[in-house]
């Protein structure tokens, strides 16, 4: 997932764990008191419940048509996490992700209010203009600044730059929340330390997705419950 090479794994003291042995047999993650690798893929509804973001300030304005929240940032910085956290406040609001193969599989943009469209920059300008004619509120995730297009279509636009504000306590909360969500039963769990969180930020910056891929690899090899 990182290309041709994977990042080194670290113990709490900075040394790599012993990867020459396999995890204990039995339930795949039972020895960690987990039901699964906590950093694998989650269903979108579950992912939203794990979000550590504040979206309260958008909710009341999104109840009225004509307001657009533009979430801008590079891949892995949290655009989708913000969008799914907003969707939790509007359970009937449709969420659409425009995939990289959108020319082959043209996504159908359903009607709804508010409407959430992720990676909207992949739609053609013509399709975006047609979408922006709808009298709804919008939440869009994008790598490109579409403020002018939205404003010309009559939207009151708020742009939020996602990423770049990640500190070690917040990262530790994000990672440990995912571990807790995969809990199998009562008792101890592996926990990510503040020291490891600082190390991850030093290595990957604010790319939470890359950090979680790294943690996935680490949890595949953990032999017992410990701080990581």
157 and 182 co-located in one domain = no
Range of the domain at 111: 54-161
119 and 180 co-located in one domain = no
Q: Is 33 helix (H, G, I), strand (E, B) or coil?
A: coil
Question: Which residues neighbour 10 within 8 Å (Cβ) at sequence distance 6 or greater?
Answer: 16, 17, 196, 199, 218, 228
Q: Which of 217, 196, 221, 223 is nearest to 39 (CA)?
A: 217
Grade residue 7 by pLDDT with cuts at 50, 70 and 90: very low
178 and 112 co-located in one domain = no
98 and 148 co-located in one domain = yes
Domain stop point among 161, 176, 200: 161
Q: Report the pLDDT averaged over residues 185-191.
A: 95
Report the number of distinct structural domains present in the chain.
2
What pLDDT, on the 0 to 100 scale, is given for residue 152?
A: 95
Give per-residue pLDDT as tens, 12-69. 444 333 333 344 455 789 999 999 999 887 554 555 554 556 778 888 999 999 999 9
Instruction: For the sheet with 95-97, list strands across it.
Output: 95-97, 115-118, 138-142, 67-72, 156-161
The token pair that represents 181 in the structure block: 């969500």
Domain annotation covers residue 15: no
What pLDDT, on the 0 to 100 scale, is given for residue 108?
A: 83
CB 9 within 8 A of CB 209: no
Domain stop point among 145, 161, 177: 161
215 and 200 co-located in one domain = yes
Question: Which CATH number fits the domain that encloses residue 67?
Answer: 3.40.50.300
Domain annotation covers residue 17: no
172 and 157 co-located in one domain = no
What pLDDT, on the 0 to 100 scale, is given for residue 222?
A: 93
CA distances from 109 to 7, 67, 122, 159, 222 (A): 38, 18, 13, 22, 43
64 and 151 co-located in one domain = yes
137 and 92 co-located in one domain = yes
CA distances from 167 to 80, 174, 201 (A): 19, 11, 8
Domain stop point among 119, 140, 161: 161
Grade residue 82 by pLDDT with cuts at 50, 70 and 90: confident
Domain annotation covers residue 120: yes
Domain annotation covers residue 107: yes
199 and 154 co-located in one domain = no
186 and 92 co-located in one domain = no
61 and 97 co-located in one domain = yes
36 and 77 co-located in one domain = no
Domain annotation covers residue 20: no
The model scores a pTM over 0.75: no
């Amino acid at each position: 997932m990182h290309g041709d090479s994977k990042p080194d794994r670290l113990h709490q003291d900075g040394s790599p764990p012993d990867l020459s042995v396999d995890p204990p047999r039995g339930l795949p993650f039972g020895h960690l008191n987990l039901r699964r690798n906590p950093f694998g893929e989650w269903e979108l509804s579950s992912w939203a419940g794990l979000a550590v973001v504040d979206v309260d300030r958008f909710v009341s304005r999104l109840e009225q048509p004509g307001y657009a929240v533009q979430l801008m940032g590079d891949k892995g910085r949290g655009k989708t996490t913000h969008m799914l956290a907003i969707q939790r406040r509007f359970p009937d609001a449709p969420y659409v992700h425009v995939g990289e193969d959108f020319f082959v599989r043209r996504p159908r943009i359903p009607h709804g209010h508010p409407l959430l469209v992720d990676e909207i920059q992949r739609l053609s300008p013509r399709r975006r203009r047609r979408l922006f004619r709808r009298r709804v509120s919008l939440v869009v995730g994008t790598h490109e600044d579409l403020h002018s297009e939205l404003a010309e279509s009559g939207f009151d636009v708020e742009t939020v730059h996602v990423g770049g504000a990640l500190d070690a306590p917040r990262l530790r909360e994000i990672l440990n929340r995912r571990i807790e969500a995969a809990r199998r039963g009562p008792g101890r769990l592996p926990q990510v330390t503040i020291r490891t969180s600082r190390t991850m930020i030093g290595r990957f910056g604010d790319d939470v997705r890359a950090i979680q891929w790294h943690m996935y690899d680490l949890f595949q090899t953990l032999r017992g419950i410990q701080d990581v």
